[in-house]
Amino acid sequence: MQEDFHFYTIYSLARVAGFNPGNAYIIAYSSQHTDDAKYEHALEFENGGRFQQVLTAHKFLDLGALSKATCYEIWIPFHFLPGNLGVDFYERMLTRANSVVAQRIIDRFLDSSINPYTLHLLGIILHVYADTWSHQNFMGLEHEMNDVNNLKVEGETDESLKDLFENLKNTFLEYAAPKLGHAQAGTIPDEPYRNWEYEDYKGRYFKISNLERSLDAAQHCYLVLLKFLKKFPQFSTSSPIPWQNIVNKISEFFSIKGDLEKRKNAWKEAISNGEFGFKPENKDIALSYDDREWFKEAVEVIVEGEQDKYIRKEGFEKSNWKYFHDAAAYYKFCVLHEILPEYGIICG
C-alpha cells in the first residue's frame, strides 16, 4: 500500500467510524509515518536529555543496510508480517492476508488499556494489517520464495515495465535486491487500480485484482476501528456510517488510474467535499501529509557545520512525534519477542 491508502483511506475510515478530525489525523499520520520514519540515531538534546528514534521505514535504506538484521527488525514486524501458514519456517514467513498473526496482534491491542500513545499504536497496527493484503505471498527476507516469473500487468508492455523497474532501482535501492519482498514486482502490488498476474517460485499462477484486495483490506481496517470505538466509546464523536454506504465511493477512488499524486489529490478533494458522509471540518479541509510535521513540532534543529544540534521544544514529552516512536518501540518488542514466538517464529 502507498500513501493514498495508509494515510487518506485510513483517515476517511476513521472519520466515517466516528473519530473526530484530530484523532483521525493521529491514526492516519501514524499509519503513513510507518513508511517514513527513516532515522534510528539517538537525539542528544542541547537542553538536556536523550531520545532514541525507532526506524520503521525500509524504502530509504541502501543496499549496504539491507542486512539480515535490518530485515528481521524492520521489514518483518512493520511491513511483511509472517502469516504462519505452512510447515517450513520460510513458508511460514510469507505474509498472508488477514493472517492469524495479524489477528493476534489486533486482539491483544484491543484487550489493552488506554495509554498516551494508543492512537499512534492503532495507526501503526493498521499499516501492518493493510500490508498483509498487498504484500501477501512475499516475505521480508531475501529468499527464492520471493521470485516473480512471467509478470504481466494490465496496461503495461514489457518495455514500460522495464523502464518502471529501472526508475525504482535508481530511486529506492531496495528494488535492486531482487529476492527481497516484492522487489521483482516493483510497486505493482501496492497500487490499488492494478490488475496483474505472475507465477511464483513453485510455478503457481496468480491473477490478481488489487481493487479487490484493497477493498477487502479497507473493510477489515474499518472493522478494527469500529471494534476500537466499541471498546473505548470515549473516542467516538458520531455514529458510524455503514460500510455498504461508503464502499462504492471507496471503490471509485481505488479504481483511479495514474500516479500517486493524482490518486492522493482525488482523496483530498473528496474528504474536503464531504463525499464520505461526514460533515467536513478542521483537518478535513485541505487535508495533507508532511512526513516532517510531527518532528518539527517537537524538536528544533540547529545546523552548525557537519553536526546538527537538537533542542527539545516545550511539551516534547507529550508530542505526537515522541508518542509515535514510543508506540513503534512497544509494537516492535511485542511482535518480535512475544507474539511471533507464540507461533514458534523467532526473529528478535
Whole-number pLDDT of residue 174: 66
Q: Which residues pair with 101 in a beta bridge?
A: none
pLDDT reported for residue 173: 62
Which pLDDT score is estimated for 304?
83
| pLDDT tens digits, 242-290 | 999 999 999 999 999 999 999 999 999 999 999 999 999 999 999 999 9
| Phi, psi of 236, rounded to the nearest 5 degrees | -90, 130
At residue 167, the pLDDT reads 84
The predicted pLDDT at position 120 comes to: 99
Nearest Cα to Cα of residue 59 among 40, 79, 77? 79
Q: What are the pLDDT digits (tens) for 155-190? A: 999 999 988 888 887 777 667 667 889 989 999 999
Q: What confidence score (pLDDT) does residue 165 get?
A: 85
Whole-number pLDDT of residue 136: 98
Given this model, what pLDDT does residue 170 score?
Answer: 72
In the numeric block, which cell numbers belong to residue 268? 483530498
pLDDT at position 63 is 59
Instruction: Of 196, 198, 192, give the one whose Cα is nearest residue 211.
Output: 192
Low pLDDT (below 50) residues in the chain: none
Model confidence, pTM: 0.97
What are the extents of the domains in the chain?
3-132+212-342
